[in-house]
């Protein structure tokens, strides 16, 4: 029996869609995203952890569209802020905040802290749901770095222009796609999940 061959990304964010498409190019699935579907009920990110939010989105969207859904929740965890913004990364500056709003709040919170105290992690949690809304696989990826004093670089999205990979002395927004598909938190999470995706694609 031939299994499904379409994997829907649980996002409409064009930056995430582009990154995931590149990361999943050889996974054996046809890739779609939520912009290919209409009249979907939004799934609120009300969990206290990245895992809870990723599971909610994967299960919530897959049960609506009857397709396999791969959803993520990604958080920036800044050591000096006790792990904030964490699960509220996309809403750090409040409901409806823009990426610029969130970056400005982060810089304000860190103030004049020296570089050695601006360490942080980007963490991605992936959840894969089958067409019935059941979570069948999960994976995590983490990328360590530190927060710059001002945005640098014009690639990437969100906090990428503030997040420096220390050993490269470049932000994710400076490094671009080639480095992102090797170093990023999403890349590491996808690599962990890839054997499962390949196995399911071959069924």
The domains of the chain, with CATH numbers, are 6-201 (3.90.950.10)
The residue among 67, 70, 45 whose CA lies nearest residue 56 is 45
Split at pLDDT 50, 70, 90, the class of 1 is: very low
The residue among 163, 194, 168 whose CA lies nearest residue 179 is 168
Cα gap 61→59, rounded to integer Å: 6
Enumerate the active-site residues: 73
Cα gap 171→89, rounded to integer Å: 18
Give whole-number Cα distances, 61 to 8, 129, 188, in Å: 9, 9, 24
Q: pLDDT tens for residues 141-191?
A: 999 999 999 999 988 789 999 999 888 889 989 987 767 777 788 899 999
Q: Residue 124 region, left (φ>0) first, then alpha (ψ -120 to 50), else beta?
A: beta
């Amino acid at each position: 029996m031939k299994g499904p061959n379409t994997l829907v990304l649980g996002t409409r964010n064009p930056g995430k869609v582009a990154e995931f498409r590149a990361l999943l190019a050889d996974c054996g699935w046809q890739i779609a995203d939520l912009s290919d579907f209409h009249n979907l009920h939004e799934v609120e990110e009300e969990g206290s952890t990245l895992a809870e939010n990723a599971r909610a989105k994967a299960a919530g969207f897959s049960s609506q569209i009857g397709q396999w859904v791969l959803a993520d929740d990604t958080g920036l965890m800044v050591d000096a802020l006790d792990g904030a913004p964490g699960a509220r990364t996309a809403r750090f500056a409040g409901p409806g905040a823009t990426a610029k709003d969130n970056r400005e709040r982060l810089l304000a919170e860190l103030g004049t802290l020296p570089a050695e105290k601006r360490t942080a992690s980007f963490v991605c949690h992936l959840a894969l749901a089958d067409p019935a809304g059941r979570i069948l696989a999960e994976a995590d990826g983490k990328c360590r770095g530190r927060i710059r004093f001002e945005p640098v670089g014009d690639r990437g999205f969100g906090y990428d222009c503030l997040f420096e990979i220390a050993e490269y002395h470049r932000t994710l927004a400076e490094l671009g796609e080639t480095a992102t598909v090797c170093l990023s938190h999403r890349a590491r999470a996808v690599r962990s999940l890839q054997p499962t995706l390949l196995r399911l694609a071959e069924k």
